[in-house]
Copies of this chain bind each other. A is one copy, B any other.
């Protein structure tokens, strides 16, 4: 499942990855959590991909690395990374993406392009507060909020205009 589509905006993506890894190391240190080589490598792989990566995609790359890993290795690493807010699981895709707001309190909302597969994570306070209000009206206490919007991104809308 490798791909070629560009991310939303052209940029030096390796810099993103490097920064994300540096942030991750800092966050883990703050929490006395161990960002072991496997965990760090999984995080790196997820960040290197512009699209959410499935657990078995990660597994395949680890295999190319020469790392003879089994599914639990990947799922455990992903659980760890999720726990510290370093990656998010996109439920509607069964896939994982790097958290672009790691460290900050993040009420993520994901815009998922049906065409190119790119995902944009937003922090949308207005959405969060509307969700909380709606939940409160039912006396429901939210613990985890999943907001995933599937649709068409601007780039693909432009590309498809002349269909």
Chain A contacts to B: CB under 8 angstroms: 91-92, 109, 111, 113-114, 120, 122, 124, 126-127, 129-131, 133-135, 138-154, 157
Contacts and interface: CB of A to CB of B under 8 A. Distances in A.
Nearest to A142: B151
- Greatest chain B CB density within 10 A among A124, A131, A150, A151 is at A131
Contacts of A148: 91, 145-146
B143 A152 contact: yes
In the complex, the count of this chain's copies comes to: 2
B91 A146 contact: yes
Given A126-B130, A131-B147, A150-B146, A120 B140 contact: yes
B146 A131 contact: no
Please name the 3 residue pairs, one residue from A and one from B, whose CB atoms are nearest each other, closest first.
Answer: A139-B154, A91-B91, A124-B134
B139 A150 contact: no
B127 A149 contact: no
5 contacts: A120-B138, A120-B140, A124-B130, A140-B152, A146-B149
Contact of A140 (B130, B131, B149): B149
Given A122-B138, A135-B151, A140-B154, 19 more contacts: A91-B148, A109-B134, A111-B138, A111-B142, A127-B127, A131-B149, A135-B149, A138-B154, A139-B153, A139-B154, A139-B157, A140-B149, A140-B153, A141-B151, A142-B150, A143-B151, A145-B150, A146-B147, A146-B149
